[in-house]
């Protein structure tokens, strides 16, 4: 099955200290390119996170962001008073009161803004880091599933276009006897218009040469082979985007050759229709991993 490189996934979990959220976006790219945004307390996870993406994805430009929304109640519990500094400030306030005759009343709320008086203890984020890694696995699974769903839609579209190509191949094959007969008659009519006589054997030789130049059996056979190969590749359980892109080039080459050999209107129309179908597939295959 094929997978698209275009997808989106988001997963969240509530931890003791707050809420973790992973948000993943991916679009098409020739190789795997990861843009990662992490909160400062989760930076040390970056090597493991990048490795996780490499193990699950092969191509695509991926934007991955982790958000941590701290629980206000838990965060406030980490606030501590600098007892030594508080005692020093209290002593200074009392000294000031003696100099001012006891008229100076300390503004305790204002004193809380004194640098270093309130200390926020750095919490241990090991539990949250472990939760972030586990949550990333779930988010990556969701992203891969989304890419697979989009890939299934692309595969359906490609299958319909391949059916269209096979219809064009059969229509041209059905016209081959008519094409050969028309070429034979056209060449004979031109010879009949000449004033000089032509050896009968020479006519057959020239007709055969012209038919060989304009014969499209080989192109039709190769188109059929490429169509069968595309169907086979789409069922492989591996990234196939580059291989499909190469097969699109091969299909386009055969369609161009078919158009250059067009001896009747039907062949030319089939060549144009083939190029339209191939281009429609090629545009979608640019998104295939």
pLDDT at 57: 95
CA-nearest of 5, 8, 284, 43 to 143 is 8
pLDDT (mean) for 31-46: 94
pLDDT band at residue 243 under the 50/70/90 scheme: very high
CB atoms inside a 10 Å sphere around CB 91: 10
Residue 117, pLDDT score: 63
Separation of alpha carbons 263 and 179, rounded Å: 7
Alpha-carbon Rg for the chain, nearest whole angstrom, is 37
Q: How far apart are CA 275 and CA 289, in angstroms?
A: 23
Q: How far is 59 from 134, CA to CA, in rounded Å?
A: 23
Q: In the predicted model, what is the mean pLDDT of residues 59-82? A: 78
In terms of pLDDT, which residue wins out, 208 or 164? 164
Q: Is 153's pLDDT higher than 70?
A: yes
41 token code pair: 């307390």
How sure is the predictor about 102, in pLDDT bands with cuts at 50, 70 and 90? low
136-151 mean pLDDT: 96
Lowest average pLDDT, out of 14-23, 85-94, 112-121, 194-203, goes to 194-203
Tell me the pLDDT band of 9, cut-offs 50, 70 and 90.
very high
Global pTM? 0.71
The fold of 7-73+126-145 is Ribosomal Protein S5; domain 2 (3.30.230)
What are the structural domain ranges in the chain?
7-73+126-145, 79-120, 148-285
Q: State the pLDDT at residue 108.
A: 65
From CA 14, how far away is CA 82, in angstroms rounded?
31
Q: What is the mean pLDDT of residues 106-113?
A: 66
């Amino acid at each position: 099955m094929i997978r698209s490189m275009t997808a989106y996934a988001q997963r969240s979990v509530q931890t003791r200290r707050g809420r973790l959220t992973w948000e993943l976006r991916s679009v098409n790219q020739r190789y795997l390119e990861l843009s990662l945004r992490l909160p400062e307390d989760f930076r040390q996870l970056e090597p493991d996170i990048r490795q996780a993406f490499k193990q699950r994805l092969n191509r695509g430009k991926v934007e991955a962001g982790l958000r941590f929304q701290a629980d206000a109640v838990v965060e406030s519990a980490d606030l501590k008073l600098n007892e030594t500094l508080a005692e020093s400030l209290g002593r200074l306030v009392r000294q000031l009161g003696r100099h001012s005759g006891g008229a100076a009343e300390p503004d305790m709320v204002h004193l809380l803004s004194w640098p270093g008086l309130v200390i926020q203890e750095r919490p241990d984020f090991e539990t949250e880091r472990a939760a972030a890694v586990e949550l990333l696995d779930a988010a990556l699974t969701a992203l891969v599933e989304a890419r697979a769903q989009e890939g299934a839609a692309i595969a359906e579209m490609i299958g319909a276009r391949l059916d269209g190509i096979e219809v064009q191949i059969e229509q041209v094959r059905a016209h081959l006897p008519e094409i050969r007969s028309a070429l034979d008659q056209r060449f004979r009519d031109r010879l009949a218009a000449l004033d000089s006589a032509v050896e009968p054997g020479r006519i057959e030789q020239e007709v055969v040469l012209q038919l060989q130049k304009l014969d499209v059996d080989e192109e039709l056979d190769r188109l059929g082979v490429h169509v069968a190969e595309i169907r086979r590749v789409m069922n492989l359980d591996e990234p196939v985007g580059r291989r499909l892109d190469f097969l699109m080039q091969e299909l386009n080459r055969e369609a161009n050759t078919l158009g250059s050999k067009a001896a009747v209107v039907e062949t030319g129309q089939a060549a144009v229709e083939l190029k339209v179908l191939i281009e429609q597939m090629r545009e979608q295959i640019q998104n295939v991993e």
